[in-house]
Amino acid sequence: MARRRLRSLTASNTGDLVFKLVAVGLTLSVLVLAVLMVGVMFQNSRESIAEYGIWDFVTAKQWDPVFRNFGALAVIVGTLVSALIAVVLAVPVAIGIAIYIVEIAPPRFQGPIAFLVDTLAAVPSIVFGLWAAFVMVPWLRQTPGKFLVNTFGDWIPLFKGPHFGFSMLAAGVILAVMIVPIISAVAREVIASVPMAQKEGLLALGATRWEVVRKVILPTARAGIVGAVILGLGRAIGETMAVTMVIGNRHELTWSLMAPNSTIPSIIANEFREATYDLYLSALIHLALVLMVISLGINVMARSLVWSATRGQTSADAR
């Protein structure tokens, strides 16, 4: 009997050790892959780094392959501004959808509505791009674009015209449509995990449903909601095809949302096959390296925000 128990414990310890080694190996493989990607991009962008440096490359405005002048500032601004527009437009809609599904919708409708919203996340970006180019852009040009330019264009530089439809605004809107299901799906799971006792306790005290959402659900779920927003922001920054089809692809630093612009992914997609000399190709890979640094910075910021929100929530619970 003792021998059987000893053999069982030995087999269990061996299985735990193998499982631990496999888990550690898989984790390290992801880290090694990320390091290899950065190393390969750095190696292939060395000519551009040697020619322009790091700081001069990201602060120079002009991108002119004909005269061998490469600067990333315009496309960095286009990337960040279009992603910011997307987050500003998408976050209220996504959180509203999540709250409606979890807290307001009848139980028989919760599943179908959640399924339909999640289905949008599976639509290929090229489909979004085609829809945006043929449906959304003409609508933006005729209705909201004219209103914004005529009403605010003379005194707010962000809406200075003319507006031809293909613009940074169009890129931001299509990105917002694409990241709504991502943010909504994560926020929905976080909101659903809020303890029922907290909500019922506030309702028992006479609070309205809106007060429960504002005072219990959102504060309790804020760490997860922040993570969902940063996840959507990361998707918006890295999106390529849909943005390429609607942003206009013009290399010019402008602060008008009505003007065409470019993003880092769109310029790489448009010009990678046209890079006919080594410095041109090196500059494009240099852009990819900059994009990866930006994405890493956003992930670090997301971790910091989630940690801050969680720490604040923990301190409030302790009190």
Binning pLDDT at 50, 70 and 90, where does residue 313 land? low
pTM: 0.85
Find how far residue 260's CA is from the centre of its chain: 21
Residue 137 DSSP SS3: helix
Give yes or no for residue 9 having a pLDDT over 70. Answer: no
Give yes or no for residue 233 having a pLDDT over 70. Answer: yes
- Can you give the pLDDT at residue 281? 92
Give yes or no for residue 57 having a pLDDT over 70. Answer: yes
- Can you give the pLDDT at residue 7? 58
Q: Is residue 14 part of a domain?
A: no
Q: Is residue 54 part of a domain?
A: yes
Q: Is residue 17 part of a domain?
A: no
Q: Is residue 30 part of a domain?
A: no
What's the total number of domains in the chain? Answer: 1
CATH code where residue 83 lies: 1.10.3720.10
Give yes or no for residue 87 having a pLDDT over 90. Answer: yes
Q: Is residue 173 part of a domain?
A: yes
- Can you give the pLDDT at residue 130? 93
**226-232 mean pLDDT:** 85
**117-136 mean pLDDT:** 90
Q: pLDDT tens, 176-208?
A: 999 999 999 889 988 888 888 888 787 777 777
- Can you give the pLDDT at residue 180? 93
**270-280 mean pLDDT:** 87
Q: In which domain, by residue range, is 309 found?
A: 46-318
User: Where is average pLDDT lowest: 85-94, 194-203, 309-318?
Assistant: 309-318
- Can you give the pLDDT at residue 158? 85
Binning pLDDT at 50, 70 and 90, where does residue 312 land? low
- Can you give the pLDDT at residue 92? 93
Nearest to 132 by CA among 90, 82, 177: 177
Q: Are 233 and 305 in contact (CB under 8 A)?
A: no
Q: Are 66 and 88 in contact (CB under 8 A)?
A: no
Q: Is residue 288 part of a domain?
A: yes
Q: Is residue 81 part of a domain?
A: yes
Give yes or no for residue 174 having a pLDDT over 80. Answer: yes
Q: Is residue 90 part of a domain?
A: yes
Q: What percent of the chain has pLDDT over 70?
A: 92
Distance between CA atoms of residues 187 and 167, nearest Å: 30
Distance between CA atoms of residues 141 and 30, nearest Å: 44
User: Where is average pLDDT lowest: 65-74, 104-113, 277-286, 303-312?
Assistant: 303-312
Which residue is it, tokens 């888990």? 23
Mean pLDDT rounded to a whole number for the chain: 85
Produce one character per residue of 27-62: b if its CB has 16 or more CB atoms within 10 Å, e if not. eeeeeeeeeeeeeebeebbebbbeebeeeebbebee
Residues 6+ positions from 100 with CB-CB distance below 8 Å: 113
